Amino acid sequence: MTWSTSDIPDLTGKRVVLTGVTGGLGLATALELARHGADLVVTARDDAKGDDAVAQISSDTPGTSIDVVALDLASLADARRAGAEVAKTYDRIDVLINNAGIMVPPKTYTVDGIELQIGTNHLGHFAWTAELWPVLRASDARVVTVSSMAHASVKGIDLRSLTREGSPRRYRRWTSYGESKLANLVFAVELDRRVKAAGSGVVSVAAHPGYASTNLTKTGPTVGGLSLPGIAMHQITKVIAQSATAGSWPLLMAATDPTLTGGEYVGPANLAGARGRPKLVGMTRTARDEALATALWAASEDAIGVAFPV
């Protein structure tokens, strides 16, 4: 049976926390969740863009309960602050969707001196989720981690990139992006292993949007200023990719399908995962590598300076 948004159950009374709501997948996902009655807690790095997103959601679904939390995932201190703030404010989180990210910028670093893509896409979310963990665990929450088809483009993760010293290899933006999205998927699978071993009711699921037209293809390549390759990629993507709305479907299925029990990966069904209705999809052997997962978890704890015990 083909999944559609009509399969999303009534979410009235359910609280969904979602990172990166100011456009693209995040906004499309938030809009659909609101239409099904969810109470939303969303994050934004830019206050004005956050206000615009709230206005769009409120206009589309009047009466939706929606709170905005400032969050800069490129700062570990801010990720921890925001996570602690949310954990203190809310006694229950039914669904957490870790969606925000950055894609193929020129060589750039977070405020902590870590390569921007692994630092934002993986480490920022790792720190944020660690702070939320007491509430997630108590709520038997569902945690959705957004990965990418690009996870299959790399054969491993250079864990040196999670340190201030960094990797001595030459920076290649697509390799670093692929590794950051592999890290997202490895984290989701490892979290599933750990919660099941602990007997927890938390469900960890991963999703990817296929080839979707979002602002990622513009904001990442143009970090530090406009670039012709970045402009070209964004324009091409707008023509040939599926919409952000269609790209949000795997995230929505991962977040709401009651048959998912943890460890699954959801993505588009057609064109080798590039587009179409969502379904359960496969992942690389590397993404399931338990030794890599253990090493990544430990390196991530070292990087954020906080233990994340499940």
Got the DSSP string for 37-72?
A: T-EEEEEESSHHHHHHHHHHHHHHSTT--EEEEE--
* Three-state secondary-structure class, residue 121: helix
Query: Would residue 177 show up in a list of annotated catalytic residues for this protein?
Result: yes
Closest CA to 34 of 1, 62, 6: 62
Residue matched to tokens 């969810």:
38
Q: Where are the alpha helices (DSSP H) in the chain?
A: 24-35, 47-60, 76-89, 116-117, 125-139, 173-198, 216-219, 228-240, 244-256, 290-304
* CB-based contact 103:57 (threshold 8 Å): no
Choose, from 109, 177, 211, 265, the residue flagged as catalytic.
177
Q: Are strands 15-18 and 39-44 parallel, antiparallel or unpaired?
A: parallel
Q: What Å distances lie between residue 76 and 26, 93, 101, 180, CA to CA?
A: 21, 22, 14, 16
- Say how far apart CA 157 and CA 113 lie, in whole Å: 18
Q: Catalytic residue positions?
A: 177
